[in-house]
Chain A
Amino acid sequence: MKQLKVDAIKDGTVIDHIPAGKAIQVLKILKTQGNHPVSIGMNLPSTKFGAKDILKIENHELSAAEVDRIAIIAPTASITIIRHYEVAEKRKVSVPEKLENVAYCPNPNCITNAESIATRFKKYKENADGKVDYMCNYCEKIYRAEDFKIKLG
């Protein structure tokens, strides 16, 4: 029998195949801290990626909007909804077309870093390596999604 490094959960969501080291960032953008028990596995061996992180959130099923947010920093992640220890549903991560106040604009001379306003980005390009570029609605600079500093809830 395969031994689990992170305990199985009764009800909730398992986010697997998170790029190694990104689990904390994923958790931050989900705004679930403090509300639900969360187990984190980091730098676990992965045949596909070499190393990966995994998150198990008890008693919370991720919404489609939350899944979209994960795609910004963990486009390879897989989402599984668990009910009564059984796999109830698998959800695919898809890259959102727009990011509304999810991340800071990395351009220090962007107006979003000078005025207290929400940031807005739109998808600019999906690259051959699967990485996604976004354009800031204001300064029009283009950034790789993985370079964003995510806004905390």
Chain B
Amino acid sequence: MSEYIFPEKNIISIRDLGRDELDYLVETAWAIESGRIKPNLNGRIASLLFFEPSTRTCFSFESAVKRLGGEALIMKGTNGTSVQKGESFSDTLRTIERYSDIVVIRHAVEGAARLASEVIDIPVVNAGDGANQHPTQALLDLYSIKKIRGTLENVKIGLVGDLRFGRTVHSLAQALSHYNPEFYFISPSFLEMPEHIKNELKEKGIKYTELPEVEPVVPELDIMYVTRIQRERFADSEDYERLKGSYIIDKETIKGAKEDMKILHPLPRVDEIACEVDSSPHAYYFDQAENGVYMRQAILSILLGEVK
């Protein structure tokens, strides 16, 4: 590996990471996947604190820890824990800090991981805080795009679905903005990309086009990034019922796609990608989920100082 010294102690928000850090994370994930380096977490303990339920992210971190030879302490939900007895978040963290070498946190409340990083001295990884950030998802998405294309530069990418509440698309847009992408934001008007993200892109001179239908841009795309319209983010269930199923990507939708166009999805999917697409050469979402393990191995190894 290069002599680069990773400057961050924690991974809390994509906003904290510049291009050098993103490149280093992607490079490290590839070095691990290809077997070029073998970080060893033997004797190290990661606490995976999932205050909010998650299957994929939690399993993926657990798999990453175990593949590196480390141990994981796992809390899924707060049933039966001192949190239910009224313990403050900060106190829970201060205690867990004594048991482990690194903490991974998923929490429904926004800013929880940032606060954790201020309260304790061991490294903290944000595994999703409410509708705010999910930086490890954005990092594994970057890693996937790099593997697909060989470069992160100048990608033409369509973000499809819930661009308003979907934290993964916000983080991904911010991460990719270091690499001169061209975005197509495809959503119903109620779920369009927030103004502040669009303003950030404008200020960086990044091109984006907003449109309600995916079909007209399919032939342009290198990557189609599809998201689920998430029931849990809607205050009004009528809005959800009106908008769910706005986009269903099937074989017909992608028939004009470039041969090497790939479809990504942070998963879980409901019905936004038809199962018939799974067998198409364009489907990449399960490879993307696997990439999450390599990226999380990279994150854990870097923050624990085990990348040599």
Contact = CB atoms under 8 A, between A and B. Distances in A.
A152 interface: no
Interface in A115-143: 115-117, 124-125, 136-142
A109 interface: yes
B115 A142 contact: no
Interface of B: 13, 15, 88-90, 108-112, 114-115, 129-133, 196, 199
A138 B114 contact: yes
Given A139-B130, A140-B132, A112 B111 contact: yes
Contacts of A109: 108-110, 130-131
A136 B237 CA distance: 28
Given A110-B109, A138-B110, A115 B115 contact: yes
6 A-B pairs with the lowest CB-CB distances in the bound complex, closest first = A138-B111, A139-B110, A111-B111, A139-B111, A138-B114, A111-B115
B83 to A, nearest CB: 12
Contact of A107 (B110, B112, B196): B110
Contacts of A110: 109-111
10 contacts: A109-B109, A111-B109, A114-B89, A115-B88, A138-B111, A138-B114, A139-B130, A139-B132, A140-B111, A140-B132
B94 to A, nearest CB: 12
B110 A111 contact: yes
B248 to A, nearest CB: 30
Interface residue tally of chain A, by bracket?
10 to 19
A114 B130 CA distance: 13
Contacts of B88: 115-116
A115 B89 contact: yes
Contacts, number: 50
A116 B119 CA distance: 13
Contacts of B130: 109, 139
A138 B115 contact: yes
A99 to B, nearest CB: 15
A54 to B, nearest CB: 35
A116 B115 CA distance: 11
Contacts of B112: 111
Contacts of B131: 109
A110 B196 CA distance: 18
Contacts of A140: 13, 15, 110-111, 132-133
A130 to B, nearest CB: 17
Most chain-B Cβ atoms within 10 A of its Cβ — which of A115, A137, A140?
A: A140
Contacts of B110: 107, 109-111, 138-141
Most chain-B Cβ atoms within 10 A of its Cβ — which of A116, A117, A142?
A: A117
B196 A114 contact: no
Contacts of B13: 140
A143 to B, nearest CB: 10
Contacts of A116: 88
A2 B15 CA distance: 54
Contacts of B111: 110-112, 136-140
B117 to A, nearest CB: 10
Contacts of A124: 196
Interface in A92-118: 107, 109-112, 114-117
A129 to B, nearest CB: 15
B52 to A, nearest CB: 12
A107 B130 CA distance: 12
A141 B129 CA distance: 12
A107 B132 CA distance: 11
A117 B132 contact: no
Contacts of B109: 109-111, 114
A124 B197 CA distance: 12
Contacts of B199: 125
Most chain-B Cβ atoms within 10 A of its Cβ — which of A125, A137, A138, A141?
A: A138
A80 B133 CA distance: 44
A140 B111 CA distance: 8
A134 B115 CA distance: 18
Interface in A23-54: none
B10 to A, nearest CB: 14
Nearest to A125: B199
Contacts of B90: 115, 117
